[in-house]
Amino acid sequence: MVITFIIDSYDESSNGIATSTKRFAEKLIEMGHIVQVVASTVEKNSDVFGYNLGVSKVPILYQVSKSQGFYFAKCNKKEIKKAILKSDIVHHLLPFKIERYAKKICDRYHIPSTAAFHLQPENITSTIHLNKVEAINKYIYTKFRKFYNKFSHIHCPSNMLKNQLEINKYSSKLHVISNGVSPAFKKYVIEKKKEWTNKFVILMIARLSEEKRQDLIIEAVKNSKYEKNIQIVFAGKGPTYMQLYNLGKDLTNPISFGFYSEKELIDIINMTDLYIHASDAEIEALGCLEAFRCGVVPVISDSKLSATNQFAIDELNLFEHGNALSLRDRIDYWYEHKVEKEKRSQEYITYSEQYSIDYSVKKLEEMFYEAIRDYKESK
């Protein structure tokens, strides 16, 4: 097949949607498909056929989205149409201007199309500190529904998201397919960085933003009886960096902030003693998958808006969302139970096999074929 991805931001490696889309594209090419990507920018040395639309720099919106590691694409109608007319199927990753225009072209020229739901309303409202206002989140779900209900098939990365879409009356067939973990992520022995030697390293991989709740990890460690021996590592970048930096100033061991290449990140994960995913809202959390694929035991928020808690083997891998003292208790427990933690580590490596990228991309390919068949039969 010639598969075309429509996505605003593709080359921004701090963006989880871009990262998972790149991995799917690479795997689909390995399977013999031709992949086109229509985005703001696509690297010239990429294996995909790129259509560069340019970055939209609408005042205020551009500054806000840039701080989140995301760039809206210009709606270059000529380039979008050119890519779509060469396609067997077109997959829309977001519900914004270029995706909406692309859907119109698909329908006009009878090209089968699908969509993926990767953006929770809370990801948007947390940026403006309104993520707790349920009416606004509900409104965004309704707004997005007008776009998504034009598709017969939608990719959902988790059952939690599927349930949210059903509650909000999305009528398409919903395919639950994990974003999947690259085989590069695996457990191996590596010496910790010199400054982390003899420290209990706690890691979270996520954009630094309000809904990710890195602040809870800092507060939990401050209240831990092992605070002097704990090293917090935040892998990511984003608008709450200074807030988190200031919050952690009085820790014995300064927080380590960094943004890493895949190889560097795998090394960091293998230096880690405990992974924490504190987010209030999450569609899946690729970072958590990557961590326990390497055998790092996770502790995860039990928030009803976070799909990540589906990865908890039992209650010892969960803490009460928004509760720093509950998280502290889990940190102290795993600090004290090293033998049990090593056993749980092996359980997670086995458990992670069901989330391989190879399995996920086959499921996505099946969805594409099903969408093409359904479209032809409907015509």
CATH of the domain at 112: 3.40.50.2000
Assess whether 278 and 329 both reside in one domain: yes
Dihedral sign computed on CA atoms, order 274, 279, 280, 283: negative
| Dihedral angle, C-alpha 330, 331, 334, 337, nearest 10 ° | -100
Angstrom CA distances, 160 to 157, 172, 176, 192, stand at 9, 16, 9, 36
Assess whether 318 and 369 both reside in one domain: no
Q: Give pLDDT, residue 208.
A: 93
Query: Would residue 185 count as lying in a domain?
Result: no
Assess whether 96 and 85 both reside in one domain: yes
Query: Would residue 241 count as lying in a domain?
Result: yes
Assess whether 171 and 260 both reside in one domain: no
Question: Of the candidates 105, 110, 111, which has an alpha carbon nearest to the alpha carbon of residue 88?
Answer: 111
Per-residue pLDDT of the chain (379 residues; tens, 9 = 90+): 999 999 999 988 777 889 899 999 999 999 999 999 999 999 887 889 999 999 998 888 888 788 777 889 999 999 999 999 999 999 999 999 999 999 999 999 999 999 999 988 877 776 666 666 788 889 999 999 999 999 999 999 999 999 999 999 999 999 999 999 999 999 999 999 999 999 999 999 999 999 999 999 999 999 999 999 999 999 999 899 999 999 999 999 999 999 999 999 999 999 999 999 999 989 888 999 999 999 999 999 999 989 999 999 999 999 999 999 999 999 999 999 999 999 999 999 999 998 999 999 999 999 999 999 999 998 7
Cα 152 from Cα 149, distance rounded (Å): 7
Q: Give pLDDT, residue 126.
A: 67
Assess whether 88 and 232 both reside in one domain: no
Assess whether 341 and 364 both reside in one domain: no
Half-sphere exposure of 339 (CA within 13 A, CB side): 0
Half-sphere exposure of 157 (CA within 13 A, CB side): 25
Query: Would residue 189 count as lying in a domain?
Result: no
Q: Give pLDDT, residue 119.
A: 86
Assess whether 33 and 121 both reside in one domain: yes
Assess whether 14 and 41 both reside in one domain: yes
Assess whether 350 and 360 both reside in one domain: no
Cα 214 from Cα 222, distance rounded (Å): 13
Show the domain range for 216.
Answer: 194-354
How many distinct structural domains can be found in the chain? Answer: 2
Query: Would residue 116 count as lying in a domain?
Result: yes
| Dihedral angle, C-alpha 200, 206, 208, 213, nearest 10 ° | -70
Query: Would residue 176 count as lying in a domain?
Result: yes
Q: Give pLDDT, residue 98.
A: 97
Q: Give pLDDT, residue 44.
A: 82
Query: Would residue 186 count as lying in a domain?
Result: no
Assess whether 82 and 114 both reside in one domain: yes
Q: Give pLDDT, residue 251.
A: 98
The token pair that represents 297 in the structure block: 């035991």
Q: Give pLDDT, residue 132.
A: 67
Assess whether 155 and 226 both reside in one domain: no
pTM for the model stands at: 0.87
Assess whether 166 and 259 both reside in one domain: no
One-letter amino acid of 180: G
Angstrom CA distances, 182 to 310, 350, 355, stand at 20, 15, 9
Cβ contacts of 41 within 8 Å, gap of 6 or more: 10, 11, 52, 54, 55, 71
**Helices (H), ranges, the chain:** 16-30, 61-67, 77-84, 97-108, 121-125, 134-148, 159-167, 214-222, 241-247, 262-270, 286-293, 324-336, 338-351, 357-378
Q: Give pLDDT, residue 128.
A: 65
